[in-house]
Amino acid sequence: MSAVAAPTVELNVTEAAAEEIKKFFAAEEDLPEGAGLRVRVVPGGCSGFQYSLNVEEESRQGDFILDQHDIKLFVDMFSAQYLNGVTIDYTSNMMGSGFTFENPNATGGCGCGTSFSA
């Protein structure tokens, strides 16, 4: 009988994104030690799925918990299949500023950069 490897998820957060995420944490009052950023995929957007980022006080049962730049990332099992290998960045230009997601798993996307299909 061979052992089945537990599923894993790998997320990459750039230094620029980490700095912005830390600003969100600093703006929140009374966050507990176990607080982190929930990164997930939800149905919607113009291509079928969209990304969601929320500050949460603690992880949930079944979450993958990753640590990037001293930031805890919480990823649920459903989202993990779409987020493996994704790089989260933060960009600022004439068109505005915000988080961007580079997803090697996406089969399509749209101009807004926050929606994709897989």
Residue 7 is given by DSSP the state P
Whole-number pLDDT of residue 59: 95
The domain spans of the chain are 11-27+35-113
Q: What's the pTM?
A: 0.82
Q: What is the pLDDT of residues 17-75, one digit of tens each?
A: 999 999 989 998 888 988 999 999 988 766 678 889 999 999 999 999 999 999 999 99
Q: Provide the token pair at 40.
A: 């997930």
Q: Provide the token pair at 53.
A: 């980022």
- Where residue 103 falls among pLDDT bands split at 50, 70, 90? confident
Chain mean pLDDT for the chain: 85
Whole-number pLDDT of residue 47: 65
Q: Are 110 and 102 in contact (CB under 8 A)?
A: no
Its CATH class, for the domain covering 11-27+35-113, is mainly beta
Q: Which residue has the higher pLDDT, 54 or 106?
A: 54
- As a whole number of angstroms, the distance between CA 56 and CA 54 comes to 6
- Where residue 5 falls among pLDDT bands split at 50, 70, 90? low
